[in-house]
Amino acid sequence: MSKAADVTRENFENEVLGSDVPVLVDFWAPWCPPCRAIGPEIDAASEQLTGRAKIVKLNVDDEPEIESRYGVRTIPTLIIFKGGQPVDTIHGAVPRRMIVERIEAQIGA
């Protein structure tokens, strides 16, 4: 079970677009091996950034309209939102260090 909360079309606007802190959305699917591989890195980053940023997961199989709206073509894709707008994108399974650095850049911006 992931430490990052799941988002759906029902709560995406409130949890992501309406957030007062930067939000990283992990676009993923349960059948995707790289998505499963990055899961522990996402969880660790979520713990490390508690209170300063939010990390959530969006299952692209369940929410294809949101996937399409943000032009997600491959998974895992991580999109950082700030002020309701996408401000940075990371493609592929990357180490926690990179995830944290990219989010921290938005916290300080």
CATH number of the domain enclosing 71: 3.40.30.10
Which residue do the tokens 């929410």 mark?
Answer: 63
- Rounded CA gap, 39 and 37, in Å? 6
Q: Is 37 helix (H, G, I), strand (E, B) or coil?
A: helix
pTM of the model as a whole: 0.94
Active site residue ranges: 32, 35
Could you give the C-alpha distances from 19 to 9, 41, 56, 78, in angstroms and in order?
15, 22, 12, 17
**Structural domain harbouring 40:** 5-108
Neighbour tally for 11: CB within 10 Å: 13
Indicate the pLDDT class of residue 4, thresholds 50, 70 and 90: confident
Does 1 have pLDDT greater than 60? no
C-beta separation of 7 from 56 below 8 A: yes
* pLDDT tens readout for residues 45-94: 999 999 999 999 999 999 999 999 999 999 999 999 999 999 999 999 99
Structure confidence at residue 8 (pLDDT): 96
Task: Provide the number of structural domains found in the chain.
Answer: 1
- Contact residues for 4 (Cβ-Cβ < 8 A; gap 6+): 26, 42, 43, 46, 55, 56, 57
Structure confidence at residue 89 (pLDDT): 97
CA-based angle 28:72:43, to the nearest 5? 30
